[in-house]
């Protein structure tokens, strides 16, 4: 157990809808990163939040957005869902300002868009 929890574990949405995924970071960790893992592929970096602000972003469109709260938990929001958004969404927490970013992952949310 990493101490990183994600909810929900599974979700089915219709194309065009909006979805919110949630992540509670490991105690003591102040940085949350989100990754998208399509079937048969490695995780792809979406963005990172540190001190409630977006701290870096991968190659994802603006309809992917996020939030980080004062307790360091985080949300990933995806608007106007497309079929290709179907994937496992992983949250990772880490402690910034350390040289070794040991990122600990949650179990993921499996999103299916139909």
Binding site for another protein (CB under 8 A): 2, 4, 6, 33, 35, 40-45, 48, 50, 55-56, 58, 90, 92, 94, 96, 99-108
Beta pairing class for 74-78 and 64-68 = antiparallel
- Closer residue to another protein (CB): 18 or 41: 41
CB of 99 to another protein, least distance (A): 7
Look at residues 65, 22, 32, 60 and name the one whose alpha carbon lies nearest to residue 44: 60
CB of 105 to another protein, least distance (A): 4
CB of 46 to another protein, least distance (A): 9
Q: How far apart are CA 13 and CA 19, in angstroms?
A: 8
- Closer residue to another protein (CB): 81 or 108: 108
CB of 111 to another protein, least distance (A): 14
Q: How far apart are CA 24 and CA 71, in angstroms?
A: 9
- Closer residue to another protein (CB): 42 or 70: 42
Q: How far apart are CA 37 and CA 43, in angstroms?
A: 4
Look at residues 73, 81, 79 and name the one whose alpha carbon lies nearest to residue 106: 73
């Amino acid at each position: 157990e990493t101490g990183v929890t994600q909810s929900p574990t599974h979700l089915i949405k219709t194309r065009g809808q909006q979805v919110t995924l949630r992540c509670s970071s490991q105690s003591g960790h102040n940085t949350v990163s989100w990754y998208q893992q399509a079937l048969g592929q490695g995780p792809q970096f979406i963005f990172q939040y540190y001190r409630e602000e977006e701290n870096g972003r991968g190659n994802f469109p603006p309809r992917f957005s996020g939030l980080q709260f004062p307790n360091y938990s985080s949300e990933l929001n995806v608007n106007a869902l497309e079929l290709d958004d179907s994937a496992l969404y992983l949250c990772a927490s880490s402690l910034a300002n350390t040289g070794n970013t040991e990122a600990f992952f949650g179990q993921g949310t499996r999103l299916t868009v139909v």
